[in-house]
């Protein structure tokens, strides 16, 4: 059996690492890693691959810096060529990026089975490109793997678990939780980020901002920066500065009065989250990692990507306006979050996915 493991954005490296490890423990599967290059920085990409012992990509397409249509179109063309060349039996895709959509379309049109990891996520905001990608990829995938009960419920409401849609749906948990459990100890041993920043015994908050809706709007980014600057007067705010965010900060002439650092690898980020007081982010991955390690979070979007976290009281959503951010921050601080339930499975999602693919392949 031959499997394409397709990645393009850094959070997908984390998810792919879990699947790669499960494949390596299984005989009879040849893995081919395809990296679209959607988010590609040689230093940052190599850090992720080295830390997590992910095999180097068999194909690096280097498609980035384009508008949505051009990017997705070029990826579709090039991934289609690779599928024709390699003839995989399955294509595994993750989440909701343009890479995910392009690989899925290429596979579907060539009759190759699609496994969508992190299916069924909905925030019902179709102004977000990611939401469009979620709808389309779920609809054409053969095996949809959800992270939580809500993802499966969303797909059931859309008619997936019926004769109307020829797709199987499984809730195996979150491969990012698998990764957090597996790599946490390694991160603690190898990361020196807390000592480098001299914050090991400090009271600090970790923050990430990268979404276009928050960075391409001067009003939104100004409100976020002002909130963080004010917060930094009472507790240190650590901000790994995303390249897009950095360029917009310079463009809008904003002043960052906090501890700004270069983007960090996976291990450093885990250590920052684990040692932080709480987390402020617009990342659907980071907000889950905060939950994994018992940290409350402020999510910088008004519609949650993971409503499960809202219902548990561990995450608060806020529209990025100055007034609402202040209200959201205070609300998050005072909430008593419930971390007792295991929303994202038991840490064995990766193995269950590969077991499912084997059963499907051999029609067991």
Q: How many whole angstroms separate alpha carbon 332 and alpha carbon 72?
A: 37
Q: How many whole angstroms separate alpha carbon 230 and alpha carbon 214?
A: 18
Closest CA to 94 of 148, 49, 129, 144: 144
195 burial class (0-12, 13-18, 19+ CB within 10 angstroms)?
Answer: exposed
Q: Which one of 39, 116, 210, 242 is the catalytic residue?
A: 210
Q: How many whole angstroms separate alpha carbon 19 and alpha carbon 78?
A: 23
CB 209 within 8 A of CB 282: yes
Q: How many whole angstroms separate alpha carbon 303 and alpha carbon 344?
A: 20
CA dihedral 49, 141, 108, 355 (to 10 degrees): 60
Q: How many whole angstroms separate alpha carbon 9 and alpha carbon 6?
A: 10
Give, as one character, the DSSP assignment of residue 313.
T
Verify whether residue 116 is a known catalytic residue: no
Residues with catalytic roles: 210
């Amino acid at each position: 059996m031959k499997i394409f493991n397709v990645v393009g954005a850094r959070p997908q490296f984390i998810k792919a690492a879990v699947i790669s490890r499960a494949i390596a423990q299984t005989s009879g599967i040849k893995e081919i890693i395809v990296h679209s290059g959607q988010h590609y920085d040689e230093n940052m990409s190599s850090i992720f691959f080295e830390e997590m012992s992910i095999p180097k990509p068999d194909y690096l397409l280097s498609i980035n810096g384009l508008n949505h249509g051009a990017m997705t179109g070029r990826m579709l063309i090039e991934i289609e060529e690779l599928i024709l060349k390699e003839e995989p039996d399955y294509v595994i895709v993750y989440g909701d990026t343009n890479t995910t959509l392009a690989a899925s379309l290429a596979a579907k049109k060539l009759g190759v089975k699609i496994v969508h990891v992190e299916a069924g996520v909905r925030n019902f905001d179709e102004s977000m490109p990611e939401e469009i990608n979620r709808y389309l990829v779920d609809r054409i995938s053969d095996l949809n793997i959800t992270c939580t009960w809500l993802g499966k419920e969303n797909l059931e409401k859309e008619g997936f678990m019926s004769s109307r849609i020829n797709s199987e749906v499984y809730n195996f948990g979150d491969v990012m939780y698998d990764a957090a459990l597996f790599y946490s100890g390694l991160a603690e041993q190898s990361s020196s980020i807390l000592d480098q920043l001299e914050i090991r015994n400090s009271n600090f908050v970790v923050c990430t901002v990268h979404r276009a809706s928050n960075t391409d709007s001067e009003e939104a980014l100004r409100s976020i920066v002002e909130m963080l600057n004010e917060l930094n007067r009472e507790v240190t705010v650590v901000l790994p500065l995303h390249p897009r965010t950095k360029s917009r900060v310079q463009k809008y002439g904003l002043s960052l009065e906090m501890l700004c650092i270069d983007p960090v690898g996976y291990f450093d980020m885990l250590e920052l989250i684990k040692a932080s007081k709480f987390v402020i982010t617009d990342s659907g991955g980071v907000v889950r990692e905060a939950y994994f390690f018992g940290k409350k979070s402020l999510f910088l979007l008004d519609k949650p990507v993971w409503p499960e976290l809202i219902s548990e009281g561990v995450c608060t959503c806020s529209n990025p306006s100055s007034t609402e951010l202040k209200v959201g921050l205070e609300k998050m601080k005072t909430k008593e979050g419930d971390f007792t339930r295991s929303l994202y499975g038991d840490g064995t999602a990766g193995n269950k996915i590969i077991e499912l693919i084997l059963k499907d392949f051999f029609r067991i």
